Chain A
Amino acid sequence: MSNVIQATNLTLAYDNGTKEIIKDANFAIKKGEFVFITGPSGSGKSTLLKALYGQLKPREGNLIVGGHNLSNIRRKKLQELRTHMGMIFQDYKLVNEWTVAKNVVLPLMIAGYSNEVQDTQARRLLKHVKLPEYADKYPLELSGGEQQRVGVARALSKNPVVILADEPTGNLDDYSSNVIWDLMENACQQLDTTVLVVTHKIPTIFSLPYRHFIIENRGVYEVH
């Protein structure tokens, strides 16, 4: 089966390339795989995700996502590629002047779905993340964990090909965490979605087979 993500000799750096975060990484991820990424704080987990959604260009090497080389991808193509990705951010990145429902359906809005479709999807997804009463509230009226679940709902709203999740359960108790893991397992299993999850704690109860990468000392290693 084809690789959805492939990194060869990938080097990522900040500050005009002077601050190296990841060096000479090689890995490939196939369609439908579930990947956990762990590593110490500041090791470059979020940085790797940033590179995967095209916000940080590789300094050296190649990073190919969905058949596009992110080193020289055109702006229009990157825009299109991003509409097939579901991102979940460590800092949520919700639009504070929008209602929760509107935040959830941002990917549908970008894709041009009708208001009715957006409405029903928002309702359905908010039920899935156990926030059915929150559609008309604003993000700043929600607790951290609730905002995080809105972020998860947004990432899932358009059935993305790839989910890139940065600490999606970082602020959640065990019950809510399990709700999130279930949603991701379902997406992976039923829709063949490729899922990359950065987390500091791999869930103990996890029914799917998964791969595990560790980022440490600027390297990306797979644990077998």
Chain B
Amino acid sequence: MKFIKNHLMFILPLMAILLGIEFYLIFERSTDTYETKLTQGYTMLVVSKSPVQLDTFQNLNTHISSSSEVNRDEIISNIAKGMSQDSSNSILAKLPYFYNLGLNLYLNSDELEQIKSDLKADSNIKRVETFGTSHASKYKLFAFIKFTLETFIIFMMVVSFILIVKQMEIWKYQHKERMQIMEIFGAPLMLRAGVLFRIAFLDAIFSTLFISILFMYIKFSWAMDSGIDLMIEHQEALFHASDILILLCASLLLVVIAVYFVVFSSKGVKE
């Protein structure tokens, strides 16, 4: 009973930290795709007197990643239906050039305004429409959710780490006497801390496996059956095999820090 309790007090916070790390990884991956989608879906409209090449736009502002000209003949054919060839030609001559510009990043409205003024510095460019407000509100909501979740994850991990340190202090108290006696008889550190290392490493591996299996289950079984669009859409982002390695390294690192903490604070009193 004491043994189980001892382990749980270490395994539970360790698993909480691993959960935090895994959530963070998943979150980064799925928001990455969301962010790309938002960026790809967005364009600003530019009106110019004469044709403009993409690199000319890019010289004005480096965030511009693509430009596509709105077909002028189509515009003419829409507005000049039934007109004579001559008059439609003269309209075509007066008609400015329209471009849809894509960006390489998700930008807030201040940054969009900056691009707008950069573009307007060119006298050839007559108008820029950024559609800033609807874009900005989507972005703000997105940034807010991201910030809240990341704060929560960090907070949870800090609290868990404190719990681990607390459990370490209990272990220190339990093992201190034995480790000091062994030290007096000349036992090297690895022998003195052997039991602790064994317990802690087992716990680390167990926690990693548990979390990995949990997320694999979520990815391959639960996500599909859940009927939640978001889950199905992001199934690929849910768990990567490389995550096991990241989790294992993180838990082993935590364990080594924790055990060294116990060992070094239990060294024989040096009067």
Interface residues of A (CB under 8 A from B): 14-15, 53, 55-57, 78-83, 85, 87, 93-98, 106-107, 109-110
Contact = CB atoms under 8 A, between A and B. Distances in A.
Closest 3 A-B residue pairs measured CB to CB?
Answer: A82-B186, A83-B186, A79-B186
Interface stretch (B22-30, B55-63, B176-184, B206-214): B176-184
Interface of B: 177-178, 181-182, 184-188, 191, 268-271
Contacts of A81: 186
B88 to A, nearest CB: 95
Contacts of B268: 55
Please classify the interface of chain B as helix (H, G, I), strand (E, B), loop, or mixed, using the class held by over half of its residues: loop
Given A15-B271, A55-B184, A81-B186, 18 more contacts: A53-B184, A55-B269, A56-B270, A79-B186, A82-B184, A83-B185, A87-B184, A95-B182, A96-B177, A106-B181, A106-B182, A106-B187, A107-B185, A107-B186, A109-B191, A110-B185, A110-B187, A110-B188
A56 B268 CA distance: 10
A94 B181 CA distance: 8
29 contacts: A14-B271, A15-B271, A55-B269, A55-B270, A55-B271, A57-B270, A79-B187, A82-B184, A82-B186, A83-B185, A83-B186, A87-B184, A93-B181, A93-B184, A94-B181, A95-B181, A96-B177, A97-B178, A106-B181, A106-B182, A106-B185, A106-B187, A107-B186, A109-B191, A110-B182, A110-B185, A110-B186, A110-B188, A110-B191
Contacts of A14: 271
A93 B188 CA distance: 18
A95 to B, nearest CB: 5
A202 B61 CA distance: 96
Contacts of B188: 79, 110
Contacts of A96: 177
A42 to B, nearest CB: 16
A73 to B, nearest CB: 12
Contact of B271 (A56, A83, A93, A110): A56
Contacts of A110: 182, 185-188, 191
Contacts of B191: 109-110
A78 B178 CA distance: 19
Contacts of A15: 271
A87 B185 contact: yes
A88 B100 CA distance: 88
Contacts of A56: 270-271
Contacts of A106: 181-182, 185, 187
Contacts of B181: 93-95, 106
Contacts of A78: 186
Nearest to A12: B271
Contacts of B182: 95, 106, 110
A70 B250 CA distance: 41
Contact of A80 (B178, B184, B186, B270): B186
A79 B186 CA distance: 4
A15 B191 CA distance: 30
A110 B186 CA distance: 7
Nearest to A154: B185
Nearest to B186: A82
Nearest to B187: A110
Contacts of B184: 53, 55, 82, 87, 93
Contacts of A107: 185-186
A110 B184 CA distance: 11
A92 B205 CA distance: 38
Nearest to B179: A95
A55 B270 CA distance: 7
A97 B186 CA distance: 19
Nearest to A107: B185
A95 B187 CA distance: 14
A114 B164 CA distance: 36
Contacts of B177: 95-96
Contacts of A87: 184-185
Contacts of A93: 181, 184
